[in-house]
Amino acid sequence: MNGQDLGRLLIVVGLVVTITGVVVYFGKGIPWLGRLPGDIRVERPGFSFYFPLTTGLLVSIVLSVILYVVTRRP
């Protein structure tokens, strides 16, 4: 990875983080994120457990596609 590729990657990552921050700060977040089918939630008296399985997979896929598009060679 040369200097231009690294610079382009840093710019795209910075833009994604900035846009995400603006959406979370000014909006009420993404309302369906964290409440997808497949996210595990167990609530009992005195005990609460939450594991965002589907949300984690979705975020991972989206970030993988973004990084693939940014790092592929023309």
pLDDT at 69: 79
Please count the CA atoms within 13 angstroms of the CA of 42 that sit on its side-chain side.
4
Domain count for the chain = 1
Q: What is the pTM of this model?
A: 0.61
The Cα 70–Cα 10 span in angstroms is 10
The predicted-structure confidence for 11-62, as pLDDT tens digits, reads as follows 888 888 888 788 777 767 677 777 889 999 999 999 999 998 998 898 889 8
Cα 11 from chain centroid? 17
Number of helices and strands in the chain (H, E): 2, 2
- Domain extent, residue 35, equals 3-71
